[in-house]
Each structure stands twice: as C-alpha cells, then as structure tokens.
Amino acid sequence: MKGMIKIEYPEYLAHTLRLSGKDFEYEMKSSSLVKLFEMGKVSSGVAASVLGLSRVDFLELLAKYKVSIFGAFDPNELEEDITNA
C-alpha cells in the first residue's frame, strides 16, 4: 500500500535551489528520510527501500548531508537493518 503526502511550496523555492520540479520532489523525499534516519525513526534499510536505492547507496547519500552512517544506533534494530539490507 502506498501513501502520498502533498506539500505546498512556493515555486521560487525549487528555483532558488536550481532544481526542476521532479528533482525538488526527490530532494524533499531524500532529505526527509535522511533526517528520519538521523533521528533514529527509520533504519537505513527502510530509508533505502523507500528511495529505491541500495543500502550502500543510501549510506553514501548520508555523506552528502553530513550525517553519520551510525545515526541514532539502537542495537535492538540491528535485526531489522539486516532484514532490509
């Protein structure tokens, strides 16, 4: 099952970032998932899956945002990460 979030924003925001509409959409989605990972709300495997990336590619994306690959590590979530890898 898929959900959809609609976010209204002024057009100049995407232009300020020099992004097309599609690229801006991806930037919003990826930055949100990076932040959720950083806060310990989602695992790297889940975030990668939602973005359609491999786990390694998501971990490389974290570097773009200067976020530690260890995030808010919880040893209890290790099994979930392994399952989603």
Q: What is the pLDDT of residues 1-32, one digit of tens each?
A: 788 889 898 989 999 999 998 999 999 999 99
Domains of the chain: which residue ranges? Answer: 17-80
**Secondary structure (DSSP) of 36-62:** HHHTTSS-HHHHHHHHT--HHHHHHHH
pLDDT in tens, 28-85: 999 999 999 999 899 999 999 999 999 999 999 999 999 988 755 566 666 777 777 6
How many CA atoms does the CB half-sphere of 85 hold within 13 Å?
9
